[in-house]
Structures are given as structure tokens and as C-alpha cells.
Structure 1
């Protein structure tokens, strides 16, 4: 697994589904979807007071990364894209 410092310097080449499974649990899906626990977490945030006002992917990424500081940009972007589409 690529380390955080390495990802910052050389670019994040890791599958975001694996990083999300590491952070939130669950299995890595075969399809291009985040793990279900990560989707549930994101949906809960988007249903919350701060999340209801979110309309853009950038705002969702900001919300997710503020709520979970270990969440990198690539997995946060992947999660935001899918969570907003499932809304």
C-alpha cells in the first residue's frame, strides 16, 4: 500500500476503493463503486445539517475530509462523485 507521504510527492496511484475499505471497512466492490460502509457514512453526512446545502462535488469533498482527516483527496473525490450521484 502506498504511504501518504509518497502519495503527496509522487501522486496517488492506489485504487480509492481499497483506501476507503481500509478506513470504513467492508469489501472492495468489483464494480467502480465505493465500499458500502463508506457510502453509508457519506450519505449520513450529506443528510446532516451541513450536508443538505451541498450541491457540488468540491463542497462534498471538503465536508468529507473535514469529518475524516485521514481521507485522502483521491478517495474523497471518488466517494463524493458516487455519493452525490446516489442522492
Structure 2
């Protein structure tokens, strides 16, 4: 998988779900975002009173501020996952 530094410089080409598994150290067998990442996303958005369906860009910014290691692509992936729930 592409390193985090390379992703920031050249653009993230890794599968977001794989990168989330690595970042959250959660290699569960579920498809999509790992459960720990989903729970963390819900908590961050709830604490900041952001509705991902109404303010997706604010949600991306909030997630990246809460966890700076997230690339924009992965943060958007988490927001899209939250919007579907």
C-alpha cells in the first residue's frame, strides 16, 4: 500500500477501507469502513453537532482536524459512509 507521506504528496491511491484498517488497527472482516472507524466518525460528528447529510464538507474538515493522519479521500469516504447510515 502507498505510504501516508506519498499519499499526501502524490494523491491517495490506496483503497480507503484498507487505509482505515491500517489507521484504526481494525482488520475485521466487514466490508467498507471498519466498525471502530464508523464509531469514531459518529462520535466526532455528534460531539461537534455536525450532520454529515447537511454539511458534508464541514464533516470532512472536522474528521481531519480530529485525526490529522486522515487523507482527504479517506475522510470523504467516512463521511459518505456516515451519510448512508
Question: Common fold, TM-score beyond 0.5?
Answer: yes
Preserved CA contact (<8 Å) 1:25 1:35: no
d(CA) in 2 for partners of 1:9 and 1:46? Answer: 27
Q: Which SS does the other structure have where 1:61 is aligned?
A: helix
Q: Which residue does 1:17 correspond to in 2?
A: 17
What runs of 5+ residues in structure 1 fail to find an aligned partner?
Answer: none
d(CA) in 2 for partners of 1:70 and 1:28? Answer: 20
d(CA) in 1 for partners of 2:84 and 2:36? Answer: 16
* Pairwise CA RMSD: 1.7
CA displacement at 1:23 relative to structure 2: 1.2
1:71-82 aligned within 5 A: 71-82=70-81
What runs of 5+ residues in structure 2 fail to find an aligned partner?
Answer: none
Which TM-score applies when normalising by structure 1? 0.81
Deviations, residues 61-85 of structure 1 (Å, cap 9, x unaligned): 0000000000111111100110122
Deviations, residues 17-49 of structure 1 (Å, cap 9, x unaligned): 111111112225553x2111000000111221x
